[in-house]
Structures are given as C-alpha cells and as structure tokens.
Structure 1
Amino acid sequence: MQKKKPAKVPVHGPQHSKQVRIIGGDWKRTPLPVLEALGLRPTPDRVRETVFNWLRHLQGDWNGAQVLDLFAGSGALGFEAASRGAESVVMVDANTAIVRQLEAVKDKLKAANVTVQRGDALATAQSLALRAHRFDVIFLDPPYQQDLLARTLPLCVPLLREGGLVYAEAETALEGDDAPDWLAPWEVVRCDKAGMVHFHLLRLRQA
C-alpha cells in the first residue's frame, strides 16, 4: 500500500518549499531539504527507485563503487548511492547555498563516503579527468534549456571506468531516430519517462 506523502512544510526556514527522501539503504526515509533554486528539480522517488533497480541489475551491489554527481542539487541521487553502500560519492554543484545545504546533510548523516565540492560541472569534470579520477557511475541531472547535457556528456568519457554507466535526465528522449548527434558514442542501455522527465542509463559503445 502506498504511504501517505508527508506534508510540504518549510524545513530550516522559508527558503525551503519541499523535501524528498532517501528511499533505500542505511539512511532510508531520511528527508533531504530542497532549496528554491533556479533549475533545481529533485529526481522523483519513483524515478530513483527505477534507476537504482537498473543499476543493481547491471552492476550488482554498491560495495566499492565510485560515484560522481555533477549537478548534485538536493543530493537525492548522490546521497541515495552513498546510503546504499557506495565507497565514494563526489557531489558537485555551483550554487553556494546548495553546497552549504549538502554539507549540512553530510554532517547530519556522518557520511564519510561523501565529498561535496562547489564548482562548475564542466570545469570540475575536466579537472577530475586530468587527475585520473575514474568512476563506476556518473549522475547527470542538469538544468534544462541550457544545452548542459550535450556539453557535459563528452567530458564523462575519460572519467568512466570500464563498464561504467552514466545516468542522464533530459527534457527529451535520447533514443530513436531523433537522437542527437552528440549521443553517437553512447548506447542507451535503459530508458523510461515519468511525467515530463526522460531518464536514461548510458554506456560507451564498444569499439
């Protein structure tokens, strides 16, 4: 039976309009405050449940997993991965207020496996590549209408471990005859739609 949704009440002051919850793992049901910030759209519970089921099926458990969340926002994806046992989760956001909120949640959870960084997603991806960081899963949930997915996805190529996956949310589907040219190096492994959100798991095509 579906649980009754919690009332939407302010959390830690009027800057919060709603919250989402971690849906699995050690911190299951922990609320995550959502700041009112331009372009911030927390990944819905149902979508996260589907995506993490996909990831478990394709990659097994999270033990030892290295995860990068380049547009962290509410932290719903990154903290979900950390809750389920990822060894390391790097969460990146350019908004100072969002970064402070992510740090506060990290401290509350005593999440030693989470690192929060303030920075531009594109610049951070390039910097991580230069330092030879590699990840098993990369989350890309950028603000819409800014061409950020097209600009960020190519930067993920040197960041992925062999067999790694990229989760990508978009305002349009990334598969089919109308797939964009910049998707050519990538294979859509799983995809679905919830409301206006198209979400995908991608992996690099075999040479």
Structure 2
Amino acid sequence: MEDDVRVIAGEFKGRRLKAPEGMGTRPTIDRVKESVVSSIYSARGGLDDAVVLDAFAGSGGLGIECLSRGAKTALFYEYDRKAQRALRENIDMLKLQAGRARIVQSDVLKRPPTVVAMPFDVVLLDPPYAYDLQVIVDFLRTLRDAKALADGAIVSYEHDSSCALAPVLERSGLDMDILTTKRFGGTTIDICRIACPDEEE
C-alpha cells in the first residue's frame, strides 16, 4: 500500500496528494519530505522565486512542496504513465497554472532540459536506486555545462545508503559540495551546492 502523501507547509499545507498504484515509484513519506525540503530551504535561504526541476517526479510531492513554500515555477519530468496521471491530477487539484507547473513525459537522462528560459535554482533527484551514481553526476554536469543551472544551485539527491556520493564526485571532478547528508534506514539524501563553470578556477 502506498504511503499517505500530503503537503507539509505553505500555500497548500494539509492538502492530500494522490500517489500512483504499484511499486514503480516510491512516494516520499512526510517526515522525509519535510527534512529534505527544510534542508533545501535552509541551504538556499528560502524558496521564494526559485525555479525547480523535479527530475524523477513520481506524483510530484517534492516539487509541489517547493511550490507551496514559495517557488516560482517547477518543471516535472516523469516517464511512468501511472505516475504521470497522479501528478497531473495533483497539479489540477491544486489549480496550478501552466506558468507554475509543467509536466514533461520523457526520460530526463535521455532528454535533459538543457535549453531553458530560466536556469534551475533547485534540482530534486529521486531516481530508481538501480541507477549508478556516476550516471546522475554526469546528468548534473550536462545541465551545468549547458548553463541550465543557476549559480550555487541546490541539489537534493536520494539514493541507496549502500552507495556514497563523495567518492564519485571526487573522481568526476564536478564542483559540487555536499552540504549535509541525511539517512533514513536504507535511504540516503545528500543536499549539495553545485558551482557553475564561471565559478570554477
């Protein structure tokens, strides 16, 4: 059975969100979502006017939480049709206009959003745990090199606790600092700040 999902704080506080049936996606439970979004909020100094990429959106819980707390707009990528239907229902239920929430049904790793009107201030990464960490780091590098990330963009990356992000970053040379690491059983969430090319030496 899916975990009950609701908006924790902000404009849509208390609103219940639909989650897709089946095991294809992992809806982020409330206590984890609260911890993640609060960490992003603290690292960025708020979410007002933030441009958010929810790269593996599922039913959109994390991206919607950011919108509820003041983000300007969110781009939701979701490939699974059931998850996308739940995401669409949640966005419609909250009456989020296209200017604030947009859905792309596509594999974000194969078709990354490299041409954007506004660079992303926040990137939410909750990919299937089977994905190699290097694949995700390469994805972030692609966004950075395309100037699709704002200076000092905040990245939240949820992955299996058996894997460590720091050694992958060291090998890759990507200028991204891990600000904090949170563990919830077999899940680890790294909150990071990524430097854009003109910030690097």
Q: Which TM class, normalised by the smaller chain length?
A: 0.7 to 0.9
Q: Provide the residue aligned with 2:55 in structure 1.
A: 70
Picking from 164, 167, 175, the partner of 1:173 is 164
**Residues 1:203 and 2:193 are matched in the alignment:** yes
1:194 and 1:77 map into 2 onto residues whose CA distance is 16
One of 130, 142, 155 as aligned partner of 2:127: 142
Q: Which runs of 5+ in 2 are unaligned?
A: none
Gaps of 5+ in 1: 1-7, 9-16
| TM value normalised by structure 1 | 0.81
Partner of 1:106: 91
Q: Name the structure, 1 or 2, with higher relative contact order (CA <8 Å, separation 6+).
A: 2
Counterparts of 1:34 and 1:117, CA distance in 2: 18
Measured in 1, the distance between the counterparts of 2:126 and 2:173 equals 16
**CA separation of 1:61 and 1:123: change in aligned 2, threshold 3 A:** same
Name 1:88's counterpart in structure 2. Answer: 73
Question: Contact 2:137–2:169 (CA<8 Å) still a contact in 1?
Answer: no
Deviations 1:1-52 (A, max 9, x none): xxxxxxx6xxxxxxxx443111111111212222134541122222222222
Confirm whether residue 194 of structure 1 aligns to residue 179 of structure 2: no
* Residue identity in the other structure for 2:178: V
Q: Do residues 154 (structure 1) and 162 (structure 2) align?
A: no
Residues matched between the structures, number: 189
Partners of 1:142 and 1:193 in 2: CA distance: 16
Deviation digits for residues 99-146 of structure 1 (CA, Å, limit 9, x no counterpart): 122111111110122111211112332xx2134541100101100112
**Distance (whole Å) between structure 2 residues aligned to residue 55 and residue 131 of structure 1:** 22
Instruction: Classify 1:132/1:96 alpha carbon distance in 2 versus 1 (closer, same or farther; 3 Å).
Output: same
Alignment partner of 2:165: what SS? Answer: coil
Percent of residue pairs identical: 31
What is the DSSP-based 3-state SS (H/G/I as helix, E as strand, rest coil) of the residue aligned with 1:154? helix
* 2:40/2:156 contact within 8 Å kept: no
Match of 2:140, SS state, is: helix
State the distance in 2 between where 1:152 and 1:70 align. Answer: 10
Describe the SS at the equivalent of 1:116.
strand
Q: Is the 8 A contact 2:37 2:62 kept in 1?
A: no
Taking a change above 3 Å as real, the CA distance of residues 183 and 24 of structure 1, as seen in their structure-2 partners, is farther
Query: Matched residues in 2 for 1:168 and 1:137: separation?
Result: 11
| Rg (Cα) greater in structure | 1
**1:173/1:179 contact within 8 Å kept:** no
Alignment TM-score, normalising by the size of structure 2? 0.83
